Amino acid sequence: MSAPATQRSTAEISVNSTVHEFDGPPHTNALDFLRGVGLTAAKEGCAEGECGACAIMVARPDADETTRWTSINSCLLPAAALDGQEVITAEGLAEGESIHPVQEEMAVRGGSQCGYCTPGFIASMAAEYYRPERVADAAAVADAEDAVAGTEDEGHHCGPNGFDIHSLSGNLCRCTGYRPIRDAAYGLGQPEPGDRIAERRENPAPASASTDFHRADTATGETGRFRRPSTLAEALDILADEPEVLVVAGSTDWGVEVNIKGVRAKSILAIDRLPELRGIRRSPEHIELGAGLTLSELERELAGSIPLLGKLIPQFASRLIRNGATIGGNLGTGSPIGDTPPALLALEAQLVLTSAQGSRVVDLADYFLGYRQTVREAGELITAIRIPLPLSPLTSFQKIAKRRFDDISSVAIGYAMRVEDGIVAKARIGLGGVAATPLRAKATETLLEGSPWTLETIHGAAGTLAAEGTPMDDHRASAKYRTAMLRSSLERFFAEQEATR
């Protein structure tokens, strides 16, 4: 076991190849830190991770001990979480007096007007420019009759150069218009030999620093503490000693609380890079997903092996958010409108809850107790999510929201069914946004199982599904609308499955 980190009052962060010391309060986000050292290209637009004006690139571990340049929202991530890490901002892309290809394309294609959002677009675009799979995607596009590799439903829409335009789904522009930005993205070639940022990919990303950082807030006089332990055992010991410590991973939820509501924490425990939470383990009985994996990492590593998650992930917020948000964090908040619970409920997922005393396995259907209340006890972490095998072959994830991408669900429904000889042999339906907790539509499941797989059966079961949950009126949707969406979703699912037969 690694020794606990030595307490210190500064963190060290490499930004554009220059090491900067961070000595602000632990709740300070990376954006404020960067602007404080004079790197003002990244900007605050929404402070909620929805506009992308604050996007930066971070070196993250990739397969075979290489590095993947990953774009994230700097307005949400605590600066202390970048201790020992490498960051590139829009200012750091150019080499000497030579403008970077991404910057050049944005300039010559007219991709910038007021310029406020442009550095964020450039950071996200540069991360996609250096994506290792882009060469293969470009070759796939060249072989496709319609010059499209993948479909929008799969979350990928590639241009002739293999550029996945959905990599910009978390970046918003209010004045330029998106066509010239898309033209700039599709006008990019591949990195030239000698490109220092491309060559950096061939070496390992920085190891996650074992951090124990503490600093007084000059505004309040209170001392805050940020810790990133090197092992799960160390994290669990901290939790056992300090049950009130705030646990963060991607900080895509807590970062909003800090920015919008002024929430502060005296003690923060970062678990996002713990190696024990970052693997995918397969057995004949289940697939086990490490709770610390980001949604983007899951999408790449699963590569469609769990089709229902493959349908869910592209609809989860934006690529910028998915690059930071973890699957365990989405469940840990206990939110009734999280996107992963409906799909995982349909998959009959189980959670591995671990404390210093040991681990226990809980069915996700039994995990939620009330609004943001769960069975997770003080001192416990979600360490893994287990998906039982075999998987049901008929699946769908339906997200009803005001925007197709980068939005919070009004209603979310996950379906996983098996039909044998024209009879529904198994039906599992997970619901979100229609009650104080995510829930299984058990009455509808019971009605469907053993019934013929026919439109008549579906019409009858749709009425039962509409009565599941206790939807309410809020600013996203009315209770009547949510009920109507439940009713029509089962009919839509049936139509989708029949269209593919």
CB atoms within 10 A of CB 410: 22
Using the 8-state DSSP alphabet, how is residue 364 labeled?
G
Tokens 């009713």 found at? 487
- pLDDT on residue 219: 67
**Kindly report the CA angle at 230 between 227 and 233, in degrees rounded to 5?**
95
pLDDT at 141: 87
% the chain with pLDDT above 70: 95
Please say if the pLDDT value at position 95 is more than 90: no
Q: Looking at this protein, which amino acid is placed at residue 64? A: D
Query: How sure is the predictor about 39, in pLDDT bands with cuts at 50, 70 and 90?
Result: very high
Q: What is the torsional sign of CA 98, 99, 105, 107?
A: negative
C-alpha to C-alpha distances, 311 to 136, 296, 330, nearest whole angstrom: 22, 13, 17
Residues 13-18 have a mean pLDDT of: 97
Q: What is the pLDDT of residues 122-136, one digit of tens each?
A: 999 999 999 999 999
- Which single residue is written with the structure tokens 């590139």? 88
| pLDDT at residue 56 tops 50 | yes
CA distances from 203 to 45, 118, 259 (A): 34, 29, 35
Residue 222 has pLDDT above 80, yes or no: no
In this prediction, residue 472 carries a pLDDT of: 86
Average pLDDT of the residues in 444-450: 98
Could you give the angle at which helices 455-466 and 479-499 cross, rounded to 10 degrees?
160
Strands 11-15 and 86-88 come out as parallel
Distances (CA, A) of 342 to 90, 391, 428, 439: 38, 16, 10, 7
pLDDT at 131: 97
Round the average pLDDT of the chain to a whole number and report it: 93
User: Does the pLDDT of residue 148 top 60, yes or no?
Assistant: no
Does the pLDDT value for residue 3 go beyond 70?
no
Residue 145 confidence (pLDDT) above 80: no
Spatial CA neighbour of 318 closest among 411, 256, 403, 405: 405
Q: How many residues does the chain have?
A: 501
Quote the CA–CA distance of 303 and 483 in Å, as a whole number: 34
Quote the pLDDT of residue 215. Answer: 81
pLDDT tens per residue, range 179-198: 999 999 999 999 999 999 99
Tens-place pLDDT, residues 60-78: 999 889 999 999 999 999 9
Task: Compare 145 and 161 and report the one with higher pLDDT.
Answer: 161
Residue 5 pLDDT > 80: no
Task: Measure the CA–CA gap between 68 and 167, rounded to whole angstroms.
Answer: 14
Q: How far apart are CA 215 and CA 10, in angstroms?
A: 8
Go through the domains of the chain in sequence order and give each one's CATH number. Answer: 11-205 (3.10.20.30), 276-388 (3.30.465.10), 394-499 (3.30.390.50)
How would DSSP label each residue in 127-186? HHHT-TTHHHHHHHHHHSTTS-SS-GGGT--B-TT--BGGGGTT---SSS-HHHHHHHHH
Which two structure tokens, joined as six digits, stand for 465?
A: 């599904």
Mean pLDDT of the region 437-442: 97
Residue 356 pLDDT > 60: yes
Considering only 18-22, 139-143, 249-253, 283-287, which range has the smallest mean pLDDT? Answer: 139-143
> Is 235's pLDDT higher than 80?
yes
